[in-house]
C-alpha cells in the first residue's frame, strides 16, 4: 500500500511540472569548409562550456546527410556553416555563414534573447 501511495504522489507531482522545450543549435557543416574550420578554432573549443552552449547544446550535422527524423527546417540549408536554432526539433532562427567570432556571438545572443522573450510571453498567456 505504501508503494502505491508513493507512485500516486510521484505521478501527481510530475503532472505539475512545466513542460521544458528542447533547445539545440545545429551546426550544418561539411569536410573542407574553411569557415567551418575557422569556427572550430575560434568557438568550437569553448562553446559547450559557455552559457549559450548550456542553453542550446551543439548538434553537428553534415549537409549531405538525410534530415534527422523529427527535424523541421524552414528551408533546406545550402551553405556551410549554417547554425540553426531548433526548439523541439523545429527551426526558429538561423545564422548562415561565419564572418567571425564577435559576429557569431552577437547574433546567437540575439537569437537566444528573442527565444527567451517569446517563451516569457507565451508562458504569461
Cell numbers linked to 95: 545564422
pLDDT score, position 98: 97
Cα–Cα distance between 13 and 17 in angstroms, integer? 7
Task: Report the pLDDT value the prediction gives residue 5, as an integer from 0 to 100.
Answer: 46
With a cut of 80, say whether residue 123 has pLDDT above it. Answer: no
For the chain, which domains are there?
Answer: 20-124 (3.40.30.10)
Give tens-digit pLDDT for 80-91. Answer: 999 999 999 999
CB 98 within 8 A of CB 35: yes
Q: What are phi and psi of 95, to 5 degrees?
A: -120, 125
State the DSSP H helix or E strand holding residue 2, giving kind and residue range, or none if neither.
Answer: helix 2-16
Question: In this predicted model, which residue has the larger pLDDT, 59 or 117?
Answer: 59
The grid cell for 8 is 500516486
- Residues 34-56: what's their mean pLDDT? 97
Indicate the DSSP class of residue 44: I
**pLDDT value at residue 7:** 47
What is the predicted pLDDT for the residue at 19?
60
pTM: 0.80
Distance, in Å, from the CA atom of 90 to the CA atom of 40, rounded to the nearest integer, reads 25
Amino acid at each position: 500500500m505504501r508503494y502505491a501511495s508513493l507512485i500516486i504522489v510521484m505521478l501527481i507531482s510530475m503532472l505539475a511540472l512545466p513542460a521544458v522545450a528542447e533547445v539545440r543549435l545545429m551546426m550544418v557543416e561539411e569536410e573542407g569548409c574553411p569557415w567551418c574550420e575557422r569556427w572550430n578554432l575560434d568557438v568550437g573549443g569553448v562553446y559547450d562550456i559557455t552559457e549559450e552552449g548550456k542553453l542550446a547544446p551543439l548538434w553537428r550535422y553534415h549537409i549531405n546527410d538525410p534530415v534527422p527524423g523529427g527535424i523541421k527546417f524552414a528551408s533546406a540549408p545550402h551553405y556551410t556553416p549554417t547554425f540553426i536554432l531548433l526548439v523541439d526539433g523545429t527551426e526558429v532562427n538561423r545564422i548562415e555563414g561565419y564572418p567571425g567570432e564577435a559576429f557569431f556571438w552577437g547574433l546567437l545572443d540575439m537569437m537566444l534573447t528573442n527565444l527567451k522573450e517569446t517563451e516569457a510571453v507565451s508562458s504569461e498567456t
